[in-house]
Amino acid sequence: MDLTKSTKEELLEIIHRLLVEQKSSSYEKKHSLNQDLTFQYAQGYFAKRRISFDKERQVKLGLVSEDGLYTNLALLLSDQCEHSIKCAIFSGEGKSNFRTRKEFSGSILRQLEGAYEYINLYNSINVEFAGLERAEKLDYPEIVIREALMNGVLHRDYNYSGSVLVNMFTDRLEVVSIGGLVDGLTISDIMRGISQTRNKGLANVFYRLKLVESYGTGIQRILECYESKGKPQFISEQGSFVAVLPNMNVKPSKVEEPLTKELITERQVMRLFENKEMISRKDIEELLGCSGFPARKVLTSLIEKRKIQVVGKGRSTRYIAM
């Protein structure tokens, strides 16, 4: 049976997703390339919760494999963890007015605590009076910051070296993690409380440390905090997952275009023009970690919206911003 060109590309895209997912699921169990690991921070963290961190416990948790070698899960908890959380604070609703930033490294447990404390430094309090009563309200409830950070760390794809990004604007807080939803899940699923953890070993460690009560409740907790005001958004792409959390003390000043998955992708592509006058389809494929089919889909949408135009033909085809 002969397949059309578009059908072949769609099949290749499905195969690509399956291969990536298979690669992700085995990450924690693989041997760490770095076997010279230390656990000074993790040991202290476990000790505070009166949980042993001896060799037997490490084996049970999956930090040490049957042959006695450290796994990638151990690497995540070690002081030598290769990943990080990057936090940035902006004055305004865009990235043009940069204020400050900080990167957190070391054990993933240390990163979580450091990022949480840092974001809360800029989590302003709004004071309101009702008669003689004084009421204080944070821009972002502490549980919202905690669950968003936890979600970004627990569900990201550690096969990629990029950082979890936390961007705070005057009107919102964005937490961006690498890797979309686990294959088969949709945004509607997670909004209903359905969850499939990509990093089961790390989730189990967090559960033992009582950092999470049960799997898949983080999004629900965030939604419950916003029941009376505002509406958080969750956008899943092939290469990333974005949680957009509105500032509860800021009233919307204008009606904006809904922040859909497609719009997020298009904005990512348009940012390429900040450093390049022209871009190619290959630039988009590398940015999004996708094949030719979804890259062409984004390009077609941007052309129709008259945001970019085509220059050249064939292999020399390039795109410039209008």
Which domains does the chain carry? 5-77 (no CATH), 85-253 (3.30.565.60), 266-321 (1.10.10.10)
Please tell me the least confidently modeled range out of 22-26, 41-45, 192-196, 316-320.
22-26
Write the burial class of residue 32 (CB in 10 Å: 0-12 exposed, 13-18 middle, 19+ buried): buried
The residue with tokens 């990638």 is 72
* pLDDT cut 70: percent of the chain above it: 84
pLDDT surpassing 80 at residue 233: yes
pLDDT surpassing 80 at residue 1: no
Per-residue model confidence (pLDDT) at position 3: 60
Which of 289, 241, 242, 235 lies closest to 262, judged by CA? 235
pTM score, two decimals? 0.70
Q: Higher confidence at residue 227 or residue 207?
A: 207
Mean pLDDT of 269-292: 79
Mean pLDDT of 15-28: 59
Q: Dump pLDDT digits (tens) for 52-66.
A: 999 999 999 999 999
Q: Higher confidence at residue 93 or residue 196?
A: 93
Mean pLDDT of 262-271: 79
Q: How confident is the model at residue 77 (pLDDT cuts 50, 70, 90)?
A: very high
Contact 308, 322 (CB under 8 A): yes
Please tell me the least confidently modeled range out of 42-46, 180-184, 245-249.
180-184
Q: How confident is the model at residue 41 (pLDDT cuts 50, 70, 90)?
A: very high
Q: How confident is the model at residue 24 (pLDDT cuts 50, 70, 90)?
A: very low
Distance of CA 29 to the CA centre of its chain: 22
Per-residue model confidence (pLDDT) at position 147: 93
pLDDT surpassing 90 at residue 282: no
* pLDDT cut 90: percent of the chain above it: 45
> Which residues in 252-277 are b (16+ Cβ under 10 Å) and which e?
eeeeeeebebeebbbebbeebeeeee
Which of 32, 23, 20, 24 lies closest to 76, judged by CA? 32
